[in-house]
Amino acid sequence: MSIFSPARALLPGLLALLLAAGPALANPDVWRYEWPDTDFTKSSIDYGEVLSGGPPKDGIPSIDDPKFIAVAEMSGLEDSEPVIGLAINGDARAYPLRVLTWHEIVNDTVGGVPVAVTYCPLCNAAIVFDRRVEGQATEFGTTGKLRNSDLIMYDRETESWWQQFLGEAIVGSRTGTRLEVLPARLESWSKFKARHPNGRVQVPNNPFARSYGANPYVGYDGASFPFLYRGSYPEGIEPMARVVAIGDRAWALDFLRKEGRVEAGGLILTWEPGQNSALDTRTISQGQDVGNVVVQQRLGQGGLEDVAYDVTFAFVFHAFRPDGTLHK
C-alpha cells in the first residue's frame, strides 16, 4: 500500500511504532469521519487487526475506465514482465503489474462479465473477481487499510469493506458476502502473447501519472519478514517464500520449481521459467526470475481447464488459511 524500501521502511524501531499505533487507530469512531456510509455495527473481524497502510480512502486510485491496445501494437513491455492474463467468452486481456502495482484495482467488463482485477503488492496476491453482488455489478476502490498485510477493498454502493485475499466482505452491511474468484494466470507478457495473439493489453490512462514500470517496493522479495504484519508465521518455511495457493491447499514455489509438474487430487500444477518478480529490483523488467505457474484440472473428455490460483507469500496463506495444508 505504501512506498516501501526495506533499507528504510523496515527499520525495527519504525515498524514497532507503526504496529504499536495500530490498535489505537483501529477505532470505528475515528473511521466514521472518513466512512460515514459504512455500517461499522456489522463485522466478522476484530477491528484491532486493521492497520493503516498510509494512503487515505482512494489514495491509491482504482482504474474504472481502463484503456487497452492490441497485443501487436504494444511496445515497451518486456517479454518477461508479469501480467495478469484473463480470457472470458473469447475476450482476452492482459493487465501488466507495472500498472496494477500503482492502482491495485481495475474495474472492467470482459466478455460481458463485470470483473475486478486486483493486485496487492505486499502479499503478491493477483486475484480476479466477478464483481457482481446479488446479480448487480458494483465498483471497488481501495480503503487505504490492511489486514494481515493484505489490501482491504470497499464497494462503492454500500461502502462495505472487503478482504482482497478472500474476496469476502468483512465490515459493513454486506459482511459475509463472497465474490466469485475467476480463473486467471499470473504470467509473463511473452506467455500471454503466445496464447492470445489477437488479445488486448492494458496501458495507463495517463502514462505520466505514475512511474509505470518501476517497483516502489524495492527489495521486498529479500525482506526477512513482511511489512505491517503482526500475526504468527508458518513453520518450516520462510514467511516471504512464495507459495501457490488453491483454496485451503498450497504448494511451496521452490518445491514446484524443483518438480516442474505436480498432480494432486485432479489438479495439475506446472512451473516454467521466464517471469520477473514485480517486487525485487527498482525496474520490474530486471527482477529475479520467479517463473510461470499454471494450475489446471482434468475434464471428463480428457481436456484441461484453468483453475483459479494465487502465487502469494507463505505468511499470507498461513494468516488466512491457518488450518490449510501447505506442501513444502
Give pLDDT tens digits for 234-257: 999 999 999 999 999 999 999 999
- Taking the C-alpha atoms of residue 305 and residue 223, their distance in angstroms, rounded to an integer, is 35
Rounded alpha-carbon distances, angstroms, from residue 132 to 20, 37, 96, 121, 129: 37, 20, 23, 24, 9
Q: Tell whether the model's pLDDT for residue 199 goes beyond 50.
A: yes
- Taking the C-alpha atoms of residue 14 and residue 5, their distance in angstroms, rounded to an integer, is 13
> Who contacts 58 (Cβ-Cβ below 8 Å, separation ≥6)?
141, 142, 144
Q: Tell whether the model's pLDDT for residue 15 goes beyond 80.
A: no
Q: Which residues of 191-216 are buried (b: 16+ CB within 10 A; e: fewer)?
A: bbbeebeebbbbbbeeeeebebbebb
pLDDT at 19: 53
Inter-residue contact 116 to 131 (CB < 8 Å):
yes
- Taking the C-alpha atoms of residue 249 and residue 262, their distance in angstroms, rounded to an integer, is 13
- Taking the C-alpha atoms of residue 279 and residue 101, their distance in angstroms, rounded to an integer, is 9
- When pLDDT is averaged across residues 172-186 and rounded to a whole number, the result is 98
pLDDT at 301: 78
pLDDT at 6: 45
Helices (H), the chain: 6-9, 12-25, 28-31, 97-103, 189-195, 253-259, 314-320
- Taking the C-alpha atoms of residue 80 and residue 90, their distance in angstroms, rounded to an integer, is 24
For the entire predicted model, the pTM comes to 0.93
- When pLDDT is averaged across residues 221-241 and rounded to a whole number, the result is 95
- Taking the C-alpha atoms of residue 212 and residue 14, their distance in angstroms, rounded to an integer, is 28
pLDDT in tens, 65-85: 999 999 999 999 999 999 999
> Who contacts 225 (Cβ-Cβ below 8 Å, separation ≥6)?
10, 233, 239, 240, 315
- Taking the C-alpha atoms of residue 110 and residue 115, their distance in angstroms, rounded to an integer, is 7
User: What is the 3-class SS of 234-288, one letter each residue?
Assistant: CCCCCCCCEEEEECCEEEEHHHHHHHCEEEECCEEEEEECCCECCCCCCEHHHCC
Q: Tell whether the model's pLDDT for residue 22 goes beyond 70.
A: no
pLDDT in tens, 277-315: 999 999 999 999 999 999 999 887 778 999 999 999 999
**What's at 292, amino acid-wise?**
N
- Taking the C-alpha atoms of residue 42 and residue 138, their distance in angstroms, rounded to an integer, is 20
| Intra-chain end-to-end CA distance of the chain, in Å | 29
